[in-house]
Amino acid sequence: MKYIDEYRDKSLVLKLAEEIKRISKKEISLMEVCGGHTMSIQKFGIPTLLPANIRLISGPGCPVCVSSKLFIDKAIEYSKNKDVIITTFGDLIRVPGSSSSLEKEKANGADIHIVYSPLTALQLAEQNPDKKVIFLGIGFETTSPGSAATVIEAYKKNIDNFFLFSAHKIMPPAMAALIDEGVKLNGYICPGHVSTITGSSIYEPIANNYKLSCVITGFEPVDILESIYMLVKQIENNVAKVEIQYKRVVKAEGNLKAQAAMNEVFDLQDDWWRGLGIIKNSGNKLKEKYKKHDAEYVMPLNIPEPKEPKGCLCGEILKGLKSPKECKLFGKACTPSEPIGACMVSSEGACHANFKYNR
Amino acid sequence: MNDKILLNHGSGGKLTHNLISNLFVKYFDNPILKQQTDSALLKIDSALIAFTTDSYVVDPIFFPGGNIGKLAVCGTVNDLSVSGAEPKYISCGFIIEEGLLFTDLEKIVKAMAEEAKKAGVLIVTGDTKVVDKGKCDKLFINTSGIGLLDEKRKDISFGKNIVAGDKIIINGDIADHGTAILCARNSVEYSSDILSDCAPLNHLIKKALNSSQQIKFMRDATRGGLATVLCELAEKNNFGICIEESMIPVKENVRGLCEVFGFDPLYMANEGKVVMVVGKEDAEKVLAEIQKDENGKNSAIIGEITEDNKGMLIMKTSIGGKRIVDMLAGEQLPRIC
């Protein structure tokens, strides 16, 4: 298939792996920030193609994994309201909250729809004027513009029964927080689709202030290996700069329209990340102008702070301090069909990817 | 254990398995059921009979390449055929939602008659129930079927004679039905020319069986797809299975759509695909034979039974790596980003 097969070319992959082996001398750790990368890396068996001195660590770029349990608990609480239709990306449906999940609430009669786009949620709101339609907005700069555009559309069309419940987050503060916490890294395999929206400049402070090599990377095996090659080259030459490997998609300036939509709708706020705690200015909340579409503002909930499950190492794993296999629950008490931690639920979670492809 | 049935219990994945083992088999307990084959194998006097049942609740009831009626006949014909049996008689039960268009029902019934004729089976008994609006979704159909089983083919359901080195064959492109349904659903605004592969396979299977005594196992790769059939086979037996990604036939447009949604074609449903395990000496012969059938033109040998990796399905990836292919934990969900 065009645009896929070229990037899964076996001879090219092996050649890149060979080149990496040839130039790589230092012991290095590279973090793939994005859950999509974690999945590709495991799916294609990339670690087996790398020399032993290169370690890949999974990062905090899985939206379901870093979102708080409180978010799920609140979504569940909203879903119990007979006037509410919950719309969500499929990944969230099985995430365990404190005592239930959206999947279980659906069996209890809650009106929960899996949608592929927030615009479908808006349509549902138009079709059901007597219901409150809440879209569960999770994800980073990749999904936030879609939510932002939908809120703008709802505002323009006066669809007042559409609400965004936002857990949208932005990536760079978490990447900086990891280093501040003392996680030892030599370079970042930077998320490709986040960068499609933001452009490459968001990583400049990380390269400059923390002297870390950053390469914006695509999702196919050739992309990932080429990117590792570029990182190794930088590191071996003591260079720390931002480069774009995923040039066929990412432009230096990013997607200006999407950025404008986000700036129009969202303000930054301090936000909680699993494993990292509260990170300053890392979450997206709706601006004053759009408050009437803010689920939490219009329908405030008072729910106790949930406890994280006992023994679960998701936090450590998201920081790259532990690998899934170091968790006692991994593959025993915690499996994809009966997950305990969020990293096992999402297909992009490090635990799920490791269980599925590499246990 | 959950205190309520979740949609996931019907996905064909692990929750479905748990439900069957921990509830149905537990209470219905008998040696025939315990075999958990596609069709129950019964001995009445001296005749060996295969008996199967399946319910069809597909949404939407009309989809590119077929409808719920065609599916209901093909599905049951295929369940019987993969046991090695020759399908003979079929029953059908209709549960109809009040308000269904008469013309729609007629189209569906006509399709059933056509498929039955094609497959050479008779629909000999049935039942009709109409329920209040909202109590079912337009139309549900249950079909049961019986077929005659030749004594020498009675082991095919179990795969008892499989040994390392045996080849895995599939009769063409995978994932067509699942992707066609995905596109036909309103929730996805994606138009494509992908058709369901829904078809009766008894003639193709007969050709294969007549060409070789070395067909050791067959299963139709419906819900849960190719991966689920092979995972189950490996799990229940003392061998491993290794398949090669590059050998598995998938249409370009199907692959493209799966890439967009983050679905793996290996787990997508088929309604006209049979997985065969064939002794290695006969594999090429069987392949050539089923390629002559209209439902087998794109058949391929996709892997083999292995001594190592017992209980596991391993795939050689297109870039030369190796990975586990596991049972699905539930329905495949589209990825977020």
pLDDT tens track for A224-243:
999 999 999 999 999 999 99
Q: What is the CA radius of gyration of chain B?
A: 19
Q: Among residues B105, B38, B42, which one has the least CA distance to residue B75?
A: B38
Would you list the DSSP string of B87-153? Answer: EEEEEEEEEEETT--HHHHHHHHHHHHHHHHHHT-EEEEEEEEEE-TTSSSSEEEEEEEEEEE-GGG
Among chain B residues, the shortest Cα distance to A12 is held by: B319
Nearest to B141 by CA among B241, B45, B199, B74: B74
CATH of B167-325, one of 3.60.20.40, 3.30.2350.10, 3.90.650.10, 3.40.630.30: 3.90.650.10
Please state, in angstroms and rounded to a whole number, the distance separating the CA atoms of residues B283 and B303.
Answer: 11
- How many pairs of residues across A and B have Cβ atoms under 8 Å apart? 104
Every domain range in chain B assigned CATH 3.90.650.10: 167-325
pLDDT of B67 reads 96
CB contact under 8 A, B333 and A91: yes
CB contact under 8 A, B324 and A359: yes
pLDDT at res. B187 = 61
Residue pair B267/B250 in contact (Cβ under 8 Å)? The answer is no
DSSP letters of B141-201? EEEEEEEEE-GGGTTTTTTTT--TTPEEEE-S--SHHHHHHHHHSTT--------------
Nearest CB partner across the interface for A221, out of B2, B7, B319: B319
Select from A49, A56, A93 the residue whose CB has the most chain B CBs within 10 Å, as the one to mutate to test that interface: A93
Asked if pLDDT for residue B188 goes beyond 70, the answer is: no
Query: For the domain A5-62+171-244, what is the CATH superfamily, name and number?
Result: HypD, alpha/beta domain 1 (3.40.50.11750)
CB atoms within 10 A of CB B88: 16
Q: How confident is the model at residue B337 (pLDDT cuts 50, 70, 90)?
A: low
- Which regions of chain A carry the CATH code 3.40.50.11750? 5-62+171-244
pLDDT tens track for B45-85: 989 999 999 999 999 999 999 999 999 999 999 999 999 99
Q: Quote the pLDDT of residue A37.
A: 95
Strands A84-88 and A28-34: unpaired
Chain A hits for B14, CB-CB cut-off 8 Å, are: 337
Distance from CA of B92 to the nearest CA of A (A): 29
Q: How is residue A195 annotated by DSSP?
A: H
Nearest-CA residue of chain B relative to A338?
B329
Q: Which of B8, B255, B262 sits opposite A103 (nearest CB)?
A: B8
The Cα–Cα gap between B18 and A162 comes to: 39
pLDDT at A345: 83
C-alpha dist (Å) from residue B58 to B72, B138, B268: 10, 10, 14
CA–CA min distance A103, chain B (Å) = 7
Query: What is the CA A99 to chain-centroid distance, rounded?
Result: 24
Q: What are phi and psi of A108, to 5 degrees?
A: -80, 0
The closest CB to that of B187, out of A91, A115, A358, belongs to A115
Residue ranges of chain A that CATH labels 3.40.50.11740: 65-170+254-298
Cross-chain CB nearest to A104 (options B4, B252, B321): B4
Which residues of chain A neighbour B179 with C-beta distances below 8 Å? none
Q: Which residue of B has its CA nearest to A194?
A: B337
A65-170+254-298: CATH superfamily: HypD, alpha/beta domain 2 (3.40.50.11740)
Residue B336 and residue A143: Cβ atoms within 8 Å?
A: yes
Q: According to the model, what pLDDT value does residue B2 have?
A: 61
Interface test with B, best of A5, A11, A18, A44 (most B CBs within 10 A): A44
Q: What is the pLDDT of residues B139-160, one digit of tens each?
A: 999 999 999 999 999 999 999 9
What ipTM was reported for this prediction?
A: 0.76
**Of B187, B323, B330, Cβ closest to residue A94:** B330
Among chain B residues, the shortest Cα distance to A48 is held by: B321
| Among A43, A108, A359, beta carbon nearest to B4 | A108
CB A163 within 8 A of CB A132: yes
Burial (Cβ within 10 Å: 0-12, 13-18, ≥19) of residue B320:
middle
8 Å CB contact of B255 and A103: no
B36-55 pLDDT per residue, tens: 888 999 999 989 999 999 99
- B37-153 falls under which CATH superfamily? PurM-like, N-terminal domain (3.30.1330.10)
Residue in B closest to A61 by C-alpha: B337
C-beta atoms of B262 and A4 within 8 A = no
pLDDT number for residue A45: 85
pLDDT tens digits, A23-44:
999 999 999 999 999 989 988 8
Tell me if B6 and A104 make a contact (CB, 8 A cut-off): yes
Chain A residue whose CA is closest to B323:
A357
Give the nearest partner residue to B321 out of A1, A44, A356, using CB atoms: A44
Tokens of A248: 């066929």
Of B187, B317, B330, Cβ closest to residue A120: B187
Residues of A in contact with B2 (CB under 8 A): 104, 107
pLDDT at B286 over 60: yes
Cβ-based contacts of A8 with chain B (< 8 Å): 318-319
Closest chain B residue by Cα to residue A221:
B319
Cβ atoms B112, B69 nearer than 8 A:
yes
pLDDT in tens, B219-273: 999 988 999 999 999 998 999 999 999 999 999 999 999 988 888 999 999 999 9
Residues of A in contact with B336 (CB under 8 A): 63-64, 89, 91, 138-139, 142-143, 346, 348
A91 → closest Cβ in B252, B318, B335: B335
Mean pLDDT in chain B?
93
Mutate to test the interface with A, among B17, B246, B336 (most CBs of A within 10 A): B336
pLDDT 10s per residue in chain A (359 long)? 778 889 999 999 999 999 999 999 999 999 999 999 998 998 888 998 999 999 999 988 889 889 989 999 999 999 999 999 999 998 888 888 998 999 999 999 999 999 989 999 999 999 999 999 999 999 999 999 999 999 999 999 999 999 999 999 999 999 999 999 888 999 999 999 999 999 999 999 999 999 999 999 999 999 999 999 999 999 999 999 999 999 999 999 999 999 999 999 999 999 999 888 999 999 999 999 999 999 999 999 999 988 878 889 988 888 888 899 999 999 999 998 788 888 888 878 899 988 888 77
Residue A305 in 3-state DSSP? coil
Alpha-carbon distance of B332 to A168, in angstroms, equals 23
CB contact under 8 A, A337 and B252: no
Amino acid B186: pLDDT: 62
Give the whole-number percent of chain B exceeding pLDDT 70: 96
Are A140 and B259 inside 8 Å of each other by CB? no
Q: pLDDT of B3-12, one tens digit each?
A: 899 888 887 7
A84 DSSP β-pair partners: A132
The whole-angstrom separation of Cα A331 and Cα A343 is 12
Q: Which two tokens stand for residue B261?
A: 């949604």
Outline which parts of chain B fall under CATH 3.30.1330.10.
Answer: 37-153
Q: Is the pLDDT of residue B1 over 70?
A: no
Contact yes or no for B303/B168 (Cβ under 8 A): yes
Angle (deg, nearest 10), helices B202-211 and B283-291: 140
